[in-house]
Structure 1
Amino acid sequence: MSADLHQRVAAAILQQLETADPSTWSPPWHGADPLPRNALTGKRYRGLNILALWAAAQARGYADPRWATYRQWAALGAQVRRGERGTSVIFYKDLPTSPALAKGIPGTDDASPRFVARAAHVFNAAQVDGAQDLALPPPSETVDPPIVFTAFVRATGAIIRENGTRACYVPKIDTILLPPRSAFHSPEGYAATFAHELVHWTGARHRLARDLTGRFGSQAYAAEELVAELGAAFVLADLGVARAPHPDHAAYCAAWASLLRSEPRALATTASEASRAVDYLAALQVGRTTRDALSRDTDPLDQSTDSAGRFIQAAA
């Protein structure tokens, strides 16, 4: 069932990628919509579920980020209106531990999955009568860059070099290269590009160890770019910063369409990796020691500095 949901969400986004004009079409992860969250539990959705709910909100004009099942809305004293269509999401249900495994009987396979994927249909607050009105926060001030994003980046400890004309993460020197802020048309464009490269930074082998070796035009390259694109959107949505299209938006759309045609599950995988990257960056906000705990090994370049002072700390 989860595979069908993966294919359904991928097919919906693929159809948009193939039929829309990339120069004007905005994918559901752009814009200013906040991260969707469950109306009853308050928990935010993750991975592919974020994309499914953002896509539904974009298609139907929903501005409220709250979603819940029919029963959850009822528990809140609200009623889903007759004829409203739900949006499919995936949740994972824990499986009971076998008695043999619980007793530690030798030979018991403790590597077997202990959860199963299930589908649920959720409804937006706009589809419900009796849902308490939600006062959405006003858009972030367009300062250069938004203060909240500056603080977020600084806490990661990433090494940044701001010069040149191209934005990229260079694994060999573990450094993010960015054009000067004056080269960007808006603070949102600067933040979007910065966040994109910051997600690439999380993929280093001593952090989350994603494959960063793909050459331009390859599926591995397209997949990592989609991870960075989605991760940047998740980060900025969490911080309340509007997401702007990447400068290479049109070219990326073509690459992502090719990737999703050949492997529908790639969207679920990249969305999951994007959520992992965001979790990693969020963990750095509470202290540098968290990075050491999450690192898989130590790279001597991780602590490299430039004696001439050309490398600066992020957003310093």
Structure 2
Amino acid sequence: MTKRTQRTQKVDIYQELTDRIIRKIEAGVKPWQPTWSRYGLARNAATGHIYSGVNAFILNLFCEHPIPYYMSFKQAKAMGGNIKKGAKAERVYFYKSYYKDESGKNINAEQAQAINEMGGETQRIAFLKFYHVFNIADVEGVEVETPEITLTPHERIAACEAVVDGYQNAPVLVHENADQAYYAPSSDKLNMPQLEQFKTPEAYYLTLFHEMTHSTGHESRLNREGITKPAKFKSERYSREELIAEMGAAFLAGHTGIDGDDEIDNSAAYLEGWLKVLKEDNKLIFKAAADAQKAVDHILGK
């Protein structure tokens, strides 16, 4: 069986990103609330790849341009272009791994698998790395095709309804309590106020997406600890589950093209709670983003 460990980095990548998000919160911004444009989640303009997990989150959050499309220096050069002088790069994060056998000798993945299959033990050492990408606004000499944005509010709502309708083995959606939106794991019910009670359709769907993300943690779905085990308000487990739901709603908002910029509720107490948990665990944002991506993929049937 392979054991996972993580190597301490000279530069703490986890802390660097967490510090950037903390600065956003301290400035009064709720960073996982979708504020990006209707171009949707960030993508690589050279390959069309849509970034997921923490990369989808940060490439939209820290994008200073209207269109969140990116490419690397090498990709721009291969397409006959170049990067503008003084352009600011963003990071795309990924994990690399190497393996050791019981004696501590370096082995490759195939050798590790063979040893595991024979009942031996190996060690997998995973470490976080990154590469740089640039927004297409900072790329010269490359023509990038961007979609025409002609969506109407009705069409955006239709896109949201398609996500709701496509959620297989979903909880029962009820309107039993007009004053609250919540997911109840014991009965596997998702309660929502009526659409007409919200200031905008976007606010309704953002709230619904939040509760739908919670519901993926049910034991019959992704069996996530934040849902299957009761947690006290503001505890680490409670905070992590709420962060997963917030980010899941943001990812689904990006998928459907709705903008929640007008729906932000930045109460001081709420933001103070997030500061506390992020300062205590600098890997939390990576863990929550990964779990949120799994939840969204489950809802979308991926």
TM-score range, shorter chain: 0.7 to 0.9
Residues 125 and 209 (structure 1), Cα distance of their counterparts in 2 relative to 1, 3 Å cut: same
The answer to whether 1:54 aligns with 2:60 is yes
Distance (whole Å) between structure 2 residues aligned to residue 221 and residue 14 of structure 1: 19
Residue 85 in structure 1 maps to residue 88 in structure 2: yes
Give 1:246 deviation, angstroms.
6.0
Q: Distance in 1 between matches of 2:142 and 2:158?
A: 33
How has the CA–CA distance of structure 1 residues 257 and 242 changed in structure 2, closer, same or farther, with 3 Å as cutoff?
same
Aligned to 2:133: 122
The 3-state SS of whatever aligns with 2:12 is helix
Equivalenced residues, count: 276
Question: 2:210 aligns to what?
Answer: 196
* Structure 1 residue 102: Cα displacement: 6.0
Say what the alpha-carbon RMSD is for the aligned residues: 2.6
Matching residue within 69, 74, 80 for 2:72: 69
Query: Is the CA contact (8 Å cut-off) linking 1:222 and 1:256 kept in structure 2?
Result: yes
- The letter of the residue matching 2:146 is A
Q: Percent identity?
A: 27
| Separation in structure 2 between the aligned mates of residue 279 and residue 225 of structure 1, nearest angstrom | 18
Output the TM-score relative to the length of structure 2: 0.82
Q: What is the alpha-carbon distance in structure 2 between the residues aligned to residue 145 and residue 253 of structure 1?
A: 29
Asked if 1 retains the 8 angstrom alpha-carbon contact of 2:44 and 2:71, the reply is yes
* TM-score relative to the length of structure 1: 0.78
For residue 162 of structure 1, the aligned residue among 146, 162, 175 is 175
Q: Which digits, 9 at most, give the CA deviation of each residue in 1:41-95, with x for residues without a partner? A: 21111222122212321xxx21122112211221222211122221122123465
Moved more, 264-273 or 214-223: 214-223
Candidates 260, 263, 288, aligned match of 1:243: 260
Counterpart position of 1:310? none
Aligned residue in 2 for 1:106: 118
Please say if 1:38 is aligned against 2:49.
no
The residue identity in structure 2 corresponding to 1:53 is L
8 Å CA contact retained: 1:140, 1:241? no
Q: Which amino acid aligns with 2:121?
A: D
Quick one: which of 172, 194, 201 aligns to 1:187?
201
Question: CA offset at residue 14 of structure 1?
Answer: 0.6
Whether 1:259 aligns to 2:277 is yes
Aligned partner letter, 1:159: V
Partner of 2:23: 15
Equivalence for 2:241: 224
Which ranges of structure 2 fall in alignment gaps of 5 or more residues?
Answer: 1-8, 99-106
Unaligned ranges ≥5, structure 1 = 285-316
Give the corresponding residue for 1:206.
220
1:276 aligns with 2:294: yes
Paired residue secondary structure (1:172): coil
